[in-house]
Chains A and B, each alone.
Chain A
Amino acid sequence: MKQFNRFLLIWDQKFSQILLGLVLFTTVFLLSLASPFFMTWDNWRNILDQSALQVIIAVGMTFVICTGGIDLSVGSVTALSGVCMAAAMHAGVSVEMAVFGGIVAGAFVGMSNGLLVSRLNLNPFIVTLGTMAVARGVALIITKGIPIYGFSREFTWWGNGHIGPLNPPMLTAVFIALLGALVLNKTKLGYYTLALGGNEEALRRSGVAYKLYKLIVYTICGITAAIGGLVVTARLNTAEPLAGSMFELDAIAAVVLGGTDMKGGRGSITGTVTACLLLGVLRNGLTILSIPSYYQQLAIGVIILVAIIISELRLKNAPGHGNIIH
């Protein structure tokens, strides 16, 4: 009986992830029945390659959403940091320095978001909506609207190199996801991140430098978006000022689908990663089945809505809703 209770507890805590895992598994199973081209390594390599970018950006977004905030600027930051790297390299800066510079640019936008949200206590939705436009504008100004093309092999390796059967974006994604999970679940920073979303007031009263933690969380999100910029620029061997459009929505969708609560206080990197894979598998599968893009948009939208409805329904009936930290 005791064991059964324990089982129920885990089941309850990990409900979203287990559910999502099952959905992913079933989707894969059904798609492999539906098309002989789905279950090939080449195709899986495509799926993993495409999901990698989304995982990288969504991990940062998970942190922000755990605090009860949101970051709409990630898509523009992806473009901006890619453009910064490209412009620097074309100006003769070494690859390492250019990449570093691009990531600093991303961190800077993230930090600005964090400062505005924490110090001035502004609404993150509006703040990041603003920085989204600012970052996009700067990217367009730097490039004058024309994509910057052609980099050294050393740089493009980050997008399309080979490491055994895998490639650098996949491994970067795995690394960032592991690091993210570790930080969120095992460190003080992770604990406070969840606490910020769960009960900011309590955190403030207990004398924690909660503004600092908020700043760090938004900076993390800027950095992961910038790493996303590295991957997308290297993969296409081009820095496009219009790259990354809708990335923010893809990332938010994955985070929410992964069981992180939009109100904050509860979140999971595993869930986010599973959700990215599910979305990747769905997009790929629908294309393989030659389903027109109209239906793809519709299907993905419906799935996200259903996921949110399920999670809300469940929470309403769960005890102590809103303050769960685990």
Chain B
Amino acid sequence: MTKNKRILTICLLIIFVLTLGGCGSNSNESKVVNEGKEPAKQVSDPKVEENEKILMDQLQPMPELKKGEKIGILVITLANPYWVTLKESYERAAKELGVNVEVMAAPNEGDTKSQLETLQAMTAKDYQGLIISPIEPYNLVPGVVSANKKGIKVVNLGPGINVDAVKEAGGKLDGRITVDFAEQGQRAAEYIVEKIGKDGGKVAIIQGIPGAGQSEGRTSGARKVFENTPGIELVSIQPGNWDRNTAYNITTNLLQAHPDIKGIFCCNDVMALAAADALVAAGKREGRIIFGVDFIDEAKEAIGTGKLDGSIAYSMDAYAKAGIILCLKTIQGMEVPKQVNSPLAVVTRENIQEYKNWH
């Protein structure tokens, strides 16, 4: 028995060393990423500059830069390439603007409780401002209130936090920057309708997580266009939960039910790529329009090869930069506009060449 216990004690020691070793090396690693490795310098692109200028004009006058403010950023999940790209954009912008940022996330797209817990732990730290993107409109509300109490400024980027819920809980948002989700859906749907032409036909929408701001906004925008166009029949709106596999299965089922479907609008690129894959696998890609949103790298490639018909883009770099500037303005006590909207671009097979260097 005693020998046994000795072994156990050793095991225990090993766990500690492993856990701590893990912690230590990880935090060093993230520092190296921030300081050592230069984030890849992006090629300047006239389209992006134009996009950035429209955003920055909404944010005049500029805050004082290079003061080394510490900003905590909470995105949805780093298991989705969209948020990984945004994280990189944040880090580039932070370097340019001379602030320190730390980007945290929930373990997966649906884990609303973990996201709140992460936010609450972040409010215990010495950040001066937070930029947060919630999984759904209500899950981060208590965290916003605790940040308010500690005097940390809170900027909401992307999917909206429900303002009434925050107010009711006794808190406030200091700033808000987003893209018009309904407009994203609307412009994608307009393209699909135009391509289908006057013969009309069946279309479908694959949503994200029902109830999530981006998902509802994009769906309602696209739905309005589809329902108001004569000849277009919206046969189905299905929740794909932002998930590749779910979207793939939905598409296969849609094809079973409606073999003559002509267009599918997906609320993000990951699902649009899955839908395209499902059509290709069924040998029914020809003559159908698949449109996504976000213009992630994989989508850029897929539009180039013709697998995907198009996507709605907005410059991530400009978006992240504007988010940080907005947060700096609130930290420095400057007036900020009630809501800042990022301009959109419709990227399609026809104009993909102009967006080669988009970032």
Contacts and interface: CB of A to CB of B under 8 A. Distances in A.
Interface in B122-149: 122-126, 136-139, 141-142, 146
Interface string A28-48: 001000110110101100100
A292 B78 contact: yes
B78 A290 contact: no
B122 to A, nearest CB: 7
B105 A293 contact: yes
B138 A237 contact: yes
Among A236, A237, A291, residue most surrounded by chain B Cβ atoms (within 10 Å): A236
A35 B141 CA distance: 26
B243 interface: no
Contact of A150 (B113, B118, B168): B168
Contact of A238 (B16, B121, B165): B165
B30 A290 contact: yes
Contacts of A23: 12, 15-16
A147 B211 contact: yes
Contacts of B22: 295, 299
B117 A287 contact: yes
Nearest to A41: B124
Interface stretch (A87-95, A123-131, A310-318): A310-318
B18 A302 contact: yes
Nearest to A43: B124
Interface string A233-265: 001111010111110000000000000000000
B136 A292 contact: no
Interface residues of A, number: 58
B12 A235 contact: no
A36 to B, nearest CB: 8
Interface in A272-296: 283-284, 286-296
Contact of A293 (B78, B139, B141): B78
Contact of A243 (B19, B112, B168): B112
B256 interface: no
Contact of B23 (A50, A245, A291): A291
Contacts of B146: 42, 46
Given A288-B125, A289-B27, A317-B4, A236 B139 contact: yes
A270 to B, nearest CB: 19
A293 B77 contact: yes
A292 B163 CA distance: 29
Contacts of B104: 287, 290, 292-293
B124 A40 contact: yes
Given A235-B142, A299-B22, A242 B78 contact: no
Nearest to A239: B138
B9 to A, nearest CB: 9
Contact of A240 (B8, B102, B112, B150): B112
Interface string A11-40: 000000001001100110010001101101
Contacts of A245: 110-111
B20 to A, nearest CB: 6
Given A146-B211, A310-B11, A317-B1, A46 B121 contact: yes
Given A34-B23, A283-B117, A287-B122, A160 B107 contact: no
Contacts of B85: none
Contact of A147 (B30, B118, B138): B138
| Secondary structure dominating the interface of A | helix
A166 interface: no
Contact of A37 (B107, B125, B211): B125
A133 interface: no
A97 interface: no
Contact of B141 (A19, A22, A236): A236
Which of A53, A291, A293 counts the most B-chain CB atoms under 10 A from its CB?
A293
A149 interface: yes
A19 B121 contact: no
Nearest to A54: B113
Contacts of B126: 37
B236 interface: no
Given A19-B12, A149-B165, A292-B105, A240 B7 contact: no
Nearest to B3: A317
A50 B165 contact: no
A46 B23 CA distance: 21
B249 to A, nearest CB: 16
Residue of B4, B20, B23 with highest tally of chain A CB at under 10 A: B23
A146 B210 contact: yes
A150 B163 CA distance: 12
Contact of A290 (B15, B27, B111): B27
A303 interface: yes
A303 B125 contact: no
A41 to B, nearest CB: 10
B209 interface: yes
A141 interface: no
B162 A232 contact: no
B107 A293 contact: yes
Contacts of B120: 46, 49-50
A34 B27 CA distance: 11
Nearest to B77: A293
6 contacts: A53-B113, A144-B210, A145-B211, A236-B141, A238-B138, A292-B105
Query: Would you list the 10 A-B pairs with minimal beta carbon distance, nearest first?
Result: A145-B210, A43-B124, A287-B121, A238-B138, A46-B120, A290-B102, A284-B121, A37-B125, A293-B107, A146-B211
Given A26-B16, A46-B120, 15 more contacts: A37-B124, A42-B124, A42-B150, A46-B117, A49-B120, A149-B165, A236-B138, A237-B169, A240-B112, A245-B111, A246-B111, A287-B118, A292-B26, A293-B114, A313-B7
